[in-house]
Structure 1
């Protein structure tokens, strides 16, 4: 788990924090903007509910500490599939995902909805090969997402 920072903006980093072993956040001040970048690795379906609960509580804690005027970017592996359609999550899902939604993604969608976030990589059309974030010999899927505040969708 880590976040790469380009040399050109390294001096802009004002805070680095880990929350458990599956969450990391950095805060940068670039010009007039404060950016919060979060790297997240959600626990997969086979793990205990307690581990999953701690992940979502940690992410909740991070997001609540972001001030309204600050920008927020949450990226990485959420181990769930949002599917190709919004289906009840129009304020979160832009309608351009991949494949079928699975039950494991409900936490992600509900979390995004609660905090006014959108899945940026479902907000505009792309070819399937640009949507797929995991592939093996049997299947292709999209499990990596970029979440940001709804008001920042146009960035």
Structure 2
């Protein structure tokens, strides 16, 4: 059963699925781009943190979408949230995303799996 999201905006949309193994909450994200103002980025991450904090601990959380971020390949600095298959160098938005992941005990899932070079990033 799918439950409609309780909140939504142009940048954040949540929906919940009740499965046989328990509830899953998906948060679909469209983060501000690199050239957005710091105030816009701060407001976005405050709203995202509020959404994450509203999800009960017994539910699975999946963040998906476009974070407009490059998290890089520095697994040594971010071992709890960045796998060994990251790409390139981190940018400012990547730093924010990794800090959010570290704070909420989340991981960048696609950095944990080795893929073909042409599938690692989108341009």
Question: Could you say whether these structures have the same fold, taking a TM-score greater than 0.5 normalized by the shorter chain as the test?
Answer: yes
Normalising to structure 1: TM-score of the pair?
0.74
Of 47, 72, 83 in structure 2, the residue corresponding to residue 58 of structure 1 is: 47
**In the alignment, structure 1 residue 46 sits paired with structure 2 residue 31:** no
Moved more, 120-129 or 13-22: 13-22
Q: Secondary structure at the match of 2:29?
A: strand
CA distance in 2, matches of 1:43, 1:87: 27
Deviation, structure 1 residue 109: 0.3
For structure 2, the residue ranges without an aligned partner over 5 or more in a row are none
4+ long deviations beyond 6 Å: none
Deviation, structure 1 residue 62: 1.0
Aligned counterpart, 2:104: 115
Q: Across the two proteins, how many residue pairs are aligned to each other? A: 123
Contact 1:20/1:58 (<8 A) preserved: no
Aligned counterpart, 1:76: 65
Aligned counterpart, 1:140: none
Normalising to structure 2: TM-score of the pair?
0.91
Deviation, structure 1 residue 19: 3.8
Q: Secondary structure at the match of 2:100?
A: helix
Structure with bigger strand share is 1
CA distance in 1, matches of 2:63, 2:57: 15
